[in-house]
Amino acid sequence: MRLLIESLGFGIASGAIIALGAVGFTVQFGISNVLNITYGALMTLAAYLGYALLGAGVNVWVAMAVAAAAIAIASALLNRGLIAPLVRRGTGFVGVVIVTVSAGIIIQYCIVAIAGADTISYGQQAGSTVSGAGFVFTTSQLVIIAITVAVMLALHLLLTRTQLGRAMRATSANPVVARSCGIRTDRVTDLAWLITGALCGAAGVALAISTVTFDFTIGPTFLIYMIAAAVLGGIGQPYGAMLGGLVVGVVSQVAAAYTSPAYQDAYAFAVLVLVLMLRPRGLFASGAAARRLTRA
């Protein structure tokens, strides 16, 4: 029983990191209809920026904020300079995906060229251990969980209580109609990429804090879990992505506690397949983004 509770806690901690990235990924897709594989490489870039800042003596949470801001700008520039022009010229869904794959590879090449291919380490940033009710967390895990929850609430308020949020939802539902209603969908999309880029950057640093040591493959390796979480929750659904992240994290950690850890990911993806067989558009899906994805 103790191991079960502990592993549930570990799963929540892992799931929070997945959710942090997955929420950004799924919102980005929901609003812009771009399956942005560059997201993984931008996470890597954030992790390396965090490393550079730590090396300069910056506090790890400040480093996370700075990296998030930097990746937010990089993400917006990526959309404005590369993705949006392609979409305007009529490049198809798959074509744009391939471009994001290519851009991700280029970013990885640049990281390796500058920082090298060796593993690097944040060192011990976990902080002290906190126990209670059978759960064991580090302070850094608690902070990341808190950040994820706060992001979730902020996104909820943004999407439901602000004019920008309504514009985002309108753009997500039908960009043509949204434009005809006077919504500047390009600007809305830019802002969406800026916000989700920040989440991507924060997730990259959070991941590096968790793994402690990493190399240039950290982001793309982790992206598959975030995509799984986003799809599990219903693509385009921030709440779904959060729940999906928790499911992936908890299932893999509980599986590692009770079966061979070598197969912990297999269990998580088996749950994904099972859920999609029962609910083809994911746990929360009902929106346009999910319909677009199932058509794509």
Partner 1 sequence: MRTTNLTLPRPRPAGALLLAGALAAALPLAACGGSSGGGTGAPPSGPLNVGVIGPMTGPAAEIGNLMSGACYAAQYSVNQAGGVLGRKISCDLIDDTGDPADAVPNVSKALATTTLSMAVGLESNTAATTIPLVNAAKIPMVSTNGLVAFDTTRDAYFWRMTPSDDQNGAAFVAWAARKGYKRYAVVFQNNIGAQGNEPGVVAAVRKIGGTMTANLTIPGDASSYSSVVARVLAGRPQALILAGDPQTSATFLSEYRQLSGGKVPPVITSTDSITPAYFSAVRKVMGTSYVTHDMFFIGGYVNPSSQAYALYKHAVYSASQVKDPATILGVGVIASIYDGISLMALAMVQAHSTSGPVYNKDIAAIAAGAPGAVTVDSYAAGLAALKAGKKIHYVGVGGPIHFNAFHNSPGNFSASGFTASGNPVLLGVIPGTTVQQLLS
- Residue 109 as a binder of partner 1 (CB under 8 A): the answer is yes
Distance, CA of 245 to CA of 15 (rounded, Å):
5
If you write DSSP's letter for every residue of 192-204 in order, what string do you get?
HHHHHHHHHHHHH
Q: How far is the CB of 41 from partner 1 (least distance, A)?
A: 9
Mark the segment that binds partner 1 (CB under 8 A) among 11-19, 75-83, 152-160, 188-196.
11-19
Mark the segment that binds partner 1 (CB under 8 A) among 23-31, 95-103, 149-157, 189-197.
95-103
Contact with partner 1 (CB under 8 A) among 241, 256, 283, 290: 256
Q: What is the DSSP letter of 283?
A: S
- Residue 262 as a binder of partner 1 (CB under 8 A): the answer is yes
- Residue 221 as a binder of partner 1 (CB under 8 A): the answer is yes
- Residue 227 as a binder of partner 1 (CB under 8 A): the answer is yes
Ranges of H-type helices in the chain? 2-32, 38-55, 60-78, 84-88, 93-115, 139-161, 163-173, 175-180, 185-211, 218-233, 238-258, 264-278, 288-295
- Residue 222 as a binder of partner 1 (CB under 8 A): the answer is yes
The residue type found at 150 is A
- Residue 52 as a binder of partner 1 (CB under 8 A): the answer is no
Q: Which residue has the tokens 């599990």?
A: 232
Distance, CA of 76 to CA of 135 (rounded, Å):
39
Q: What are phi and psi of 116, to 5 degrees?
A: 90, 170
Question: For partner 1, which is the closer residue by CB, 91 or 221?
Answer: 221
Report 163-202 residues binding partner 1 (CB under 8 A): none
Question: For partner 1, which is the closer residue by CB, 183 or 255?
Answer: 255
- Residue 105 as a binder of partner 1 (CB under 8 A): the answer is yes
Contact with partner 1 (CB under 8 A) among 56, 57, 89, 113: 113
Structure tokens given for 118: 């060796």
Q: CB within 8 A of 2, min separation 6: which ones?
A: 134
Contact with partner 1 (CB under 8 A) among 59, 174, 213, 286: 213
Judge whether 264 and 255 are in contact, CB under 8 Å: yes
| CA distance readout (Å), 95 to 89, 197, 251 | 11, 21, 34
Question: For partner 1, which is the closer residue by CB, 50 or 220?
Answer: 220
Q: Which residue has the tokens 């899906």?
A: 285
Report 116-135 residues binding partner 1 (CB under 8 A): 116-119, 121-124, 126, 129
- Residue 10 as a binder of partner 1 (CB under 8 A): the answer is yes
Distance, CA of 237 to CA of 283 (rounded, Å):
9
CA neighbours within 13 Å on the CB side: how many for 159?
22
> Count of residues binding partner 1 (CB under 8 A)?
58
The residue type found at 138 is T
- Residue 115 as a binder of partner 1 (CB under 8 A): the answer is no
Q: How far is the CB of 101 from partner 1 (least distance, A)?
A: 4
Footprint on this chain of partner 1 (rule: CB under 8 A): 3, 6-7, 10-11, 13-14, 17, 35, 37, 40, 97-98, 101, 104-105, 108-109, 112-113, 116-119, 121-124, 126, 129, 136, 138, 207, 210-218, 220-224, 227, 253-254, 256-257, 260-262, 264-265, 269
